[in-house]
Amino acid sequence: MQKAENAPIEEGKSSPTKEGKIAHIVEDKTAPASEEKNVPLEGTQKAPASEGRKAPAEGTRKFPTWVDLFATVGIFVLSSLVGSLLAIVIMKLRGAENLTPDLTLLYYLVQMLPPIAYIVWLRRKAQRPSALHLGVRRVNLPILLWGVAVLLASSVVLEPLLLLFPKEEYQNVTDMVGLGGWAILSVVVCAPILEEILFRGLIFESCRERFGSGAAVLISALLFGLVHGVPVQIINAFVVGLIFGYIYLRTGSLLSVIILHAINNGIAYISLAFFGDAADTTLRDLIGPDWLYWTIYGLSAVVFVYAMVRLVLNLRNETELE
Listing DSSP states for 56-86 in one string gives PPTTPPPSS-HHHHHHHHHHHHHHHHHHHHH
Listing DSSP states for 90-153 in one string gives HHHHHT-SS--HHHHHHHHHHHHHHHHHHHHHHHHHTT--------GGG--HHHHHHHHHHHHH
Which candidate, 89, 262, 258, 279, places its Cα nearest to that of 173?
279
3-state DSSP helix/strand/coil % of the chain, to nearest 5: 75, 0, 25
Mean pLDDT of all residues in 38-63:
47
Q: Render pLDDT for 71-102 as a digit per residue (tens, 0 to 9).
A: 999 999 999 999 999 998 998 888 877 778 88
Mean pLDDT of all residues in 15-21:
46
Phi, psi of 134 (to 5 degrees): -60, -45
Of residues 164 and 21, more confidence is placed in 164
DSSP state for residue 15 in the 8-state scheme? S
Residue 169's H or E segment, with its range, is helix 168-177
Give the separation between CA 69 and CA 91, rounded to whole angstroms: 33
What's the pLDDT at 18? 45
Residue 318's H or E segment, with its range, is helix 290-321
Predicted TM-score (pTM) of the model is 0.77
Q: Given a cut of 70, is residue 5 above it in pLDDT? A: no
Q: What's the gap between Cα 23 and its chain centre?
A: 57
For the beta carbon of residue 189, count every other beta carbon within 10 angstroms: 15
What's the pLDDT at 27? 45
Say if CB 228 and CB 237 are below 8 A apart.
yes
Q: Render pLDDT for 56-77 as a digit per residue (tens, 0 to 9).
A: 555 556 788 889 999 999 999 9
Mean pLDDT of all residues in 260-277:
84
